[in-house]
Structure formats: structure tokens, C-alpha cells
Amino acid sequence: MTWLMRAAQEPGKALHVAVALWFAVGVTKSSEVKLSSSLLTDLGVHRHAGYRGLAALERAELVRVMRHRGRHPVVTLLELLGQ
């Protein structure tokens, strides 16, 4: 819950992106997932707003992102220290 509370404090659609990531992690049972634009669209998040939300989560050190041109970003959820 602490992770999501931190995500909720970030601007824009960061919380929407965080929920999408947690859903993907739950489905795949892996802390490393591909963030697809279709998953964001299902949550009502435009692709560019999703990228800004992902960048906000990255700045908050909640995720690590590997980006490759022309592919979906691969996102690793990071645990909060001191929980």
C-alpha cells in the first residue's frame, strides 16, 4: 500500500499507470513487465500521458524502465526501503 500511496502523490496519470503496472505484475507473476499502450487505453490513459506518468514513477524511484525505440518499455517495480 505504501508504494501505491507514493504513486498517488505523483502528478498526472502516474496513479493510473501504477495500477496498470500492478495489474500486469499480478497477471504475469513477475516484477518485470512490458507496459503496453492497449492496457493504458483500457484504463482511459492516452499513450503520451502514460509515458509522462511512467516518467513520474521513475523519478519517484518506484520503477526502473528500460526503453527501446519502437518497443514497449520494460518496467521493473522497485520495493520501497524502510517499509
pTM, two decimals, is 0.88
CATH 3.40.50.150 describes domain 2-77 = no
Q: What is the DSSP letter of 48?
A: H
Average pLDDT, the chain: 91
Q: Is the pLDDT of residue 81 over 90?
A: no
Domain assignments of the chain as residue spans, ordered by start: 2-77
pLDDT at 82: 46
Q: How confident is the model at residue 80 (pLDDT cuts 50, 70, 90)?
A: low
Question: Which cell goes with 80?
Answer: 520501497
Q: Which spans in 1-83 are helix H?
A: 2-8, 14-28, 37-42, 47-59
* H or E stretch covering 58: helix 47-59
Summarised one tens digit per residue, pLDDT across range 29-68 is 998 999 988 999 998 999 899 999 999 999 999 999 999 9
Distance CA 20, CA 71 (A): 18
